[in-house]
Structure 1
Amino acid sequence: MSRSGKLASQGEQRENGRQQILDVIRASEHIARIDIAKATGVSPATVTALTSELLNAGLICEVAPEGNTEGRRGRPRVGLAIRGDAHRIAGIKVARRLISIVITDFAGHEIVHHELALDTGRMPAQVLAQEIHRALKETCKLGGFPIADLSGVGLGLAGMIDAPRNFVYWSSSLEERNIHFAAVLEEILPCPVFLDNDANLVAKAEHLFGAGRNCDNFIVITIEHGVGMGVVIDGKIYRGTKGCGTEFGHTKVQLEGALCQCGQRGCLEAYVGDYALLREANISSGGERYQTLASLFSAAQKGDAMAQSVLDRARRMFALGLANVVNIFDPGKIILAGARLSFDHLYSDRVIDEMQQWIVDVDAPMPEILVHDWGDLMWAKGAAAYAIEEVSALTVKRLAGAAG
């Protein structure tokens, strides 16, 4: 049945079949038609017909069978693979003062990457759109092709974002609230833009390329300037009804507590995020003594009691937040992702011990907790993976329209 609950038309069934087959091919380096039929439950005859349409559309290609086929009976199996040169896709991560871009082919293989520094961490939507446009043009130039060659752009922003609507309720990168930021970008870019919370895109990247590759139920917690969370349930990103679910950093840990950059008080992020640590340390020291996290960590390591107390409070708050996540989701794995410097103090035996004290006691092992130290380009790769999925869906829809 279709999502509306009505029986799908024959055209919808064929469109769904094309997308399902494309997904199976993408998940494999290459795969024979008979194996696609087994994986999808679609009849071999239908698989042959639908893959023929995908071949004619230039989305997939045939791959010669591997190994020595001499002496084997019957026709050798010809594999099918995603045709990399069918599209060029850009993935973008907007961080506090940095735009990171990776451009891939349709199969997800990197073509070129680039980073562009930003003068400020927060700006009007039109200004950020122009900065993204400039960074994209520079990246395409480095790759030796024009920006017009892009078929889609995936963009990850921190904040509360409704991905299906490409709508930003609030982001720490934008001065405005409640804005269709993808539409702003599409006015100056030559292709569709697909927007999502950056932590969701990290979770997607972990599922496709990283520590969550063989796990369909896990949680990624990102720790940078702020704190984010991406949740994968049954192999799919969970976003909530408005795209505002899984806002781990904005769960409340203290009534009328510290001021968060979202405008509310008592959020976990207001005790754990980079800006929160520096703010607390400088208030306590009565000046602007600490300009970077490195200086704060260095002071703590040298025995500075005030610096140690700031990091200790962050550790306790983080342990409390992790316990709540485990009690609510019961994940198989929790992955801490981001710049390692930002959370060395948050991943320790003390954190795990405190977290365990607040988890509901059952006779079962705790979830595995991993640290994956990666840079902004990997976040951008998650954005590219998201855009590849969305461009695939759009292309299949166009194919269905042409066939209809």
Structure 2
Amino acid sequence: MARSGRLTPSSEQRESGRQQILDVIRAQESIARIDIAQATGMSPATVTAITAELLAAGLIEEIAPELAPGARRGRPRVALRLRGAARLIAGLKVSHHVISTVITDFVGQELASHEMPLVQGTMPVPELCAQIRRALELTCEKGGFSIEDLSGVGLGMAGMMDADRGFIYWSSSLEERNVAFTAAISAELPCPVFLDNDANLVAKAEHLFGEGRTCDNFIVITIEHGVGMGIVIDQQIYRGTRGCGAELGHTKVHLEGALCQCGQRGCLEAYVGDYALLREANISSGSERHTTIASLFQSAENGDVVAKSILDRARRMFAMGLANVVNIFDPSKIILAGARLSFDYLYSDKLIEEMRQWVVQVDAPLPEVMVHDWGDLMWAKGAAAYALEEVTARTVRELANAAA
């Protein structure tokens, strides 16, 4: 009789159990079956049965830990750990000037990385898809394997998107709007692609590897070509109903103000983003042309009044944006990320003092504001972590369907 593929309540429970056990094993370097039972509340018999399935599927492996000094004599408990060779996962971060790629094993251990420069920051969908494939191929070559060996790709891009549908409403990397981008890039690649806003993936990286590991509620704000925000609430990323939540860069700070790259006026990033600062500097500076933020910053350091006034206004606008974040979310921590943070006008005592002036005053400390400049490869690692979660969930569903 043909199988319907529909899960029964008992098989759904088994699928949930597989996912729980994999999550517990992933959280530990190694763990014995009895400790998994205690951590999950499952019976030892259930844990034994499910781990046998995971062992047969090649997702986990047994290790025999050495008997610890001072421990009682006898056979040490056999522990379990994830099998790194079970899957290869890629993570990519598409920025305005470079595609950063990292490839990890099933444990999350980095195997290869690469940064491929882009000739232009905005391009048609087919061209960007081809560039992404090329970046993956180059990274795979460095690691000594093929793009066909990948089990999943996490992809982070700036813009407004619905991650669940793989749909991009608008991105500064694309010439077109309203693009089913996951479908387009999946036609170029031999494995599933998991798309999300790049700031969300920075938040995921912070939660898994960085300053958010000990926080249930925190916010990451990214400052580069534009301004992005990733929100973690109760350890989960908040995306909004349409997938367009957390767009701090497109909150309005000036009625009928400066033109933003999204097409509207008065957005925060139209005063803080790279392109906005360079646009104003090159309009206001006369004969001197600035092609990089470093050049503009150096002019301000050298006493250029125009350059200094541009950066001062950017700092005030950014302080206003931070104050709005505190007033709306009241997070325990705000993490500032991005290459621009090497220029301290966006992170200084003056910025924090200006933010403090606009925050609703209560007799309690302000959230901690800190800088954590990961670099583009760590953004890519967040994308890989996202893909790793999704590939794990898919693998568990495949096991459930096979057993149904």
**What TM-score do the two structures reach when normalised by structure 1?**
0.95
Deviation at 1:340, TM superposition (A): 4.2
Tell me whether 1:42 sits opposite 2:27 in the alignment.
Answer: no
| Match in the other structure for 2:249 | 249
Change (3 A) 1:303 1:90: same
| Match in the other structure for 1:178 | 178
Change (3 A) 1:331 1:71: closer
CA contact (8 A) 1:224 1:342 kept: no
CA contact (8 A) 2:297 2:343 kept: no
| Match in the other structure for 1:370 | 370
| Match in the other structure for 2:314 | 314
Distance 1:230 1:343 in 2: 22
2:219 alignment partner, SS class: strand
| Match in the other structure for 1:221 | 221
For 2:103, the aligned partner's letter is I
After TM superposition, the structure 1 stretch with the greater mean CA deviation from structure 2, 220-229 or 34-43, is 34-43
| Match in the other structure for 2:163 | 163
How do residues 108-257 of structure 1 correspond to structure 2 at under 5 angstroms?
108-257=108-257
CA contact (8 A) 1:226 1:249 kept: yes
Tell me whether 1:278 sits opposite 2:278 in the alignment.
Answer: yes
Deviations 1:195-243 (A, max 9, x none): 0000000000111111111112111000000000001111111111111
Change (3 A) 1:288 1:129: farther
Deviation at 1:76, TM superposition (A): 2.6
Deviations 1:144-184 (A, max 9, x none): 11111000000000001111111111110011111111111
Structure 1 stretches of 4+ moved >4 Å: 340-343
CA contact (8 A) 1:293 1:342 kept: no
Distance 1:71 1:146 in 2: 46
Distance 1:370 1:71 in 2: 43
Distance 1:91 1:324 in 2: 32
CA contact (8 A) 2:111 2:143 kept: yes
| Match in the other structure for 2:94 | 94
Distance 2:344 2:225 in 1: 14
Tell me whether 1:266 sits opposite 2:272 in the alignment.
Answer: no
1:99 alignment partner, SS class: strand
Distance 2:266 2:342 in 1: 20
For 2:351, the aligned partner's letter is V
Aligned pairs, number: 398
Distance 1:375 1:67 in 2: 41
Deviations 1:86-129 (A, max 9, x none): 00000000010101110000100011111111110000010000
Distance 1:358 1:343 in 2: 23
How do residues 78-93 of structure 1 correspond to structure 2 at under 5 angstroms?
78-93=78-93
Change (3 A) 1:71 1:277: closer
For 2:144, the aligned partner's letter is G
Distance 1:212 1:77 in 2: 33
After TM superposition, the structure 1 stretch with the greater mean CA deviation from structure 2, 147-156 or 300-309, is 300-309
Distance 1:228 1:8 in 2: 42
Distance 2:320 2:250 in 1: 13
Distance 2:241 2:307 in 1: 40
CA contact (8 A) 2:199 2:229 kept: yes
Distance 1:249 1:343 in 2: 19
Change (3 A) 1:71 1:359: closer
Deviation at 1:292, TM superposition (A): 1.1
CA contact (8 A) 1:223 1:343 kept: no
| Match in the other structure for 2:400 | 400
CA contact (8 A) 2:341 2:373 kept: no
Gaps of 5+ in 1: 1-6
CA contact (8 A) 1:216 1:234 kept: yes
Distance 2:69 2:164 in 1: 47
Deviations 1:313-342 (A, max 9, x none): 111110011011011111111110111456
For 2:293, the aligned partner's letter is L
| Match in the other structure for 2:351 | 351
Deviation at 1:134, TM superposition (A): 1.1
Distance 2:196 2:34 in 1: 36
